[in-house]
Amino acid sequence: MDIAQRVAVVTGGASGIGRSLSLALAGQGAAAVVVADVDAGGAAEVAAAIEAAGHRAMAVPADVTSPAEVEALVARAEAAFGRIDLFCSNAGIIVDGGVDLPDQAWSRSWAVNVQSHVYAARAVLPGMLARGEGYLVLTASAAGLLTQLSSAPYAVTKHAAVALAEWLSITHGDQGIRVSCLCPQAVRTNLIATSSREAGMPVRDSQAAPQASVDGVLTPEQVAACVLDGIAGERFLILPHPEVATYEQRRAADRERWLSGMRRLQARLRGQP
């Protein structure tokens, strides 16, 4: 897809990858960028920055875990700009722990990391299908292709996000709908602060741990550039850390060996001999 003169919506757009992606889309010549976030003030600041640079933008406060608010977001964008060509469903959180985490942590992770993508697709697909074209970008994680040692909810929900993106591509790819799934490793964002707020519990910086940062910690601007390149090439998997493709291949080729290696890595990270 050529971004020029396309109307784009970015959720989680107030900060991190979403902020950089919103700015990059505008800089690429998008007809308009709708910046959506539960952080209304942050979304307004990003939209104002886009407008100050001479581009069209609109900020919409939205809790993407609410289907009604996602439907309202889509309705406002379509009313303002006529259509939505590109929807970047980007919100996400992480909490540390395993199956013993309280139900609240699991439920909130599922709501933000999976259901928000479901609500976005449900709301935006009818218009796209009626026009015979549209683009969905779902932000998952390398954890959705591999795993997240420090967080069972993150690993589980990000795998689900990848599965949903695959299903959408398979089901609607022949109807003019393009789908990309963004799967970065460590990115320098405020994910921890956002996750602590959304999950209602302290969160350790898992994304900066050795597992996540072994291939380098990228800036949100670098990730946004990768997303634009992936959209231009209409690639399903967008891998800002290209090493993830090799890891996924190793995992598929010999699952037992991969599991054994991940257990050894986990032991080292825990300081075990």
Domain segments of the chain as ranges: 7-244
User: Any residues with CB less than 8 A from the CB of 39 and at least 6 apart, and which?
Assistant: 14, 15
Nearest-angstrom CA–CA distance, 135 and 86: 5
Nearest-angstrom CA–CA distance, 146 and 224: 22
User: Any residues with CB less than 8 A from the CB of 114 and at least 6 apart, and which?
Assistant: 157, 160, 161, 164
Q: What is the pLDDT of residues 103-160, one digit of tens each?
A: 999 999 999 999 999 999 999 999 999 999 999 999 999 999 999 999 999 999 999 9
**pTM for this entry:** 0.91
181, 236 contact by CB (below 8 A)? yes
Q: For 7-244, give the CATH class.
A: alpha beta
User: What confidence category does residue 269 fall into, taking pLDDT thresholds of 50, 70 and 90?
Assistant: confident
Residue 208 scores a pLDDT above 50: no
Nearest-angstrom CA–CA distance, 167 and 171: 6
Burial of 177 (C-beta count, 10 Å sphere; 0-12/13-18/19+): buried
Nearest-angstrom CA–CA distance, 90 and 113: 9
Q: What is the pLDDT of residues 65-115, one digit of tens each?
A: 999 999 999 999 999 999 999 999 999 999 999 999 999 999 999 999 999
Is 247 annotated as catalytic? no
* pLDDT reported for residue 196: 46
